[in-house]
Structure 1
């Protein structure tokens, strides 16, 4: 396969690109290398990818409407995986325009590229935060997710709708994944596990929101990549049983579907911190704070559909996953 992976120097994009290269695929990686977080971390990820002969890098902003068409014209990818985005729920409260540029305009450019040079499959990232304050746990793709509570999640809801429109109008097979709290080696510095580890090793207090009462479906990055790779080889077909009078939000009469990618279990945030303390061999000084705007108390993925469609079987415990992150952090930063 010749696969275009956007956000290839990002956290999930790096892990996916490396997996694809190791299995023998050609990867065109696209990343703007912006400074939302430490660009040296992105550069280190990129250096590893560039060590593979099957990797080609394009440094470009996804929102660049003038230059993006040339990427598709030159590379003509058989598959496209869009992981580039302005991430972070909380940052969307500070810089909303950044999310529209990267997540909406950028994704439109991807869709237009697919329209001009149709791939066998478009896979794109959505988010578990699209469920908002949905009270039914676990979150199911067959339940309507129509009330996002941050601009970040609203921009991802827009992506889902945009991909469906292009699947309907132009027959572009598209699979969207709602990711649940991804963590692991090479993670982003703005993510909780990274921030907690950094603070604990520096003897600084960690800030725990929601008074420590939150629960999350923590999903190890390798389990996420397993789902993405499995999907690449399984583009969706129109659902022959789709009923416009009783529409299933997860499927369509077009070649489009939505799936959850999560561990499929809730973990207490405080247990997550306890595991981190055990792996670091240090206790955390905790500063409890109220819930932040845009946060939810609990998340949990219903992965039944993902298991059925992709034979998806996430298997990494938080004990194993956090341990691998700590090992990587200590080696990378020499602490």
Structure 2
């Protein structure tokens, strides 16, 4: 663990953008349960079911130290006002237009949210003294990388989707602002996050919906894909450990990078699963949740534009610096998802 490791500081105000989102909700809940003051910010767009976002927020209503604001980070005045009014100390930027395939069809929304929105957050951090900016990057930045497992030391200059390109851009922008304006920044490359109350646009969620509707699920690259599936609790634990521990100042004499506080971590399970095995585990979990055998109808298709065959995280730096390694099995994680899904959607 890093020298001088600090636990969560209850005297700080934590601003979480994308606060009604999947990771944003669970991170907010974790911080609130430990007594932290949390300000959530979200534009509540309709990229997926707004009712699910509202259900997440409803679970946070009872916490006295929680404030939710419906605003869009792509509006610079909105962001400036939030910083002025709430004076956050630690910023967690999770607001983004997500989805690889959606970026092929709707590029404008990615530039607006992921580029302009993130720029507005950086500018607000520049003009307001903050302790730490933590922001979501993505495993998609590795693009067509053939070296596995993926390491943060690898070159990531070959994105295969606009979404990936925006996330790589975020890392470059954060690095620049960190170097120019002394903003401690940590980027987090998340690997295929899943779990209860997750995003309906993710494959496992869509699979469940189609299975119960009697529809065939689309299995791309004819099932020959591998993903480093990471359970939501492991993601939240990783982020929580990082929040009050900004990167140490880099020592590079006679370099403009001397003193910079900037880092990037992979957060993944370090155990890629074959897509067909993941589907089998989901079938088993759903079967147990409803008390009857569930077998998915499958339509095997070629690789989709913007997709990659393998994601595989080298998360050893996370374990080295924060003494934590994501380790929830897909069997355990998918069962928790299946139990929630059946209850939430009242499936029988």
TM-score by length of 2: 0.92
**Structure 1 residue 65 and structure 2 residue 71: aligned?**
no
Match of 2:136 among 125, 135, 139: 125
SS, match of residue 239 in structure 1: coil
1:314 maps to what in 2?
326
Match of 2:56 among 45, 48, 51: 45
Matches of 1:76 and 1:113, distance apart in 2: 10
SS, match of residue 136 in structure 1: coil
5+ residue gaps, structure 2: 1-11, 288-293
**Structure 1 residue 179 and structure 2 residue 190: aligned?**
yes
Return the offset for 1:243.
Answer: 10
Cα-Cα RMSD: 1.5
Return the offset for 1:252.
Answer: 7.7
Matched residue pairs, number? 330
In the TM superposition, 1:179-198 aligns within 5 A as 179-198=190-209
Matches of 2:55 and 2:272, distance apart in 1: 32
Matches of 2:297 and 2:95, distance apart in 1: 35
1:248 maps to what in 2?
none
SS, match of residue 126 in structure 1: strand
SS, match of residue 66 in structure 1: helix
**Structure 1 residue 212 and structure 2 residue 212: aligned?**
no
Matches of 1:28 and 1:198, distance apart in 2: 32
2:8 maps to what in 1?
none
Match of 1:255 among 252, 261, 266: 261
Matches of 2:146 and 2:86, distance apart in 1: 44
Matches of 1:51 and 1:205, distance apart in 2: 40
Matches of 1:76 and 1:253, distance apart in 2: 25
**Structure 1 residue 331 and structure 2 residue 343: aligned?**
yes
**Structure 1 residue 228 and structure 2 residue 242: aligned?**
no
Matches of 1:253 and 1:328, distance apart in 2: 46
Match of 2:283 among 270, 274, 277: 277
**Structure 1 residue 3 and structure 2 residue 14: aligned?**
yes
5+ residue gaps, structure 1: 245-250
**Structure 1 residue 163 and structure 2 residue 190: aligned?**
no
CA separation of 1:241/1:319 partners in 2, compared to 1, >3 Å: closer, same or farther?
A: farther
TM-score by length of 1: 0.96
1:247 maps to what in 2?
none
1:12 maps to what in 2?
23
2:291 maps to what in 1?
none
Matches of 2:65 and 2:150, distance apart in 1: 38
Return the offset for 1:201.
Answer: 1.5
Return the offset for 1:238.
Answer: 2.3
